[in-house]
Copies of this chain bind each other. A is one copy, B any other.
Amino acid sequence: MWIIISHNMADALDQIFSALADPTRRQILVMLLEDDMAVTDVAEPFEISLAAVSKHLGILASAKLIQQERRGRVKWCKLDPQAMHIAWTWMQGLGQFEHIDLDGLEAFLEETLKKD
Contact = CB atoms under 8 A, between A and B. Distances in A.
Contact of A89 (B21, B64, B87, B100): B100
Interface of A: 5-6, 8-14, 17-18, 20-23, 26, 29-30, 33, 64, 79, 81-89, 91-92, 94-97, 100-102, 104-110, 112-113, 115-116
How many copies of this chain?
2
Interface of A is mostly: helix
A10 B23 CA distance: 7
A100 B109 CA distance: 13
A56 to B, nearest CB: 14
A31 to B, nearest CB: 11
A89 B113 contact: no
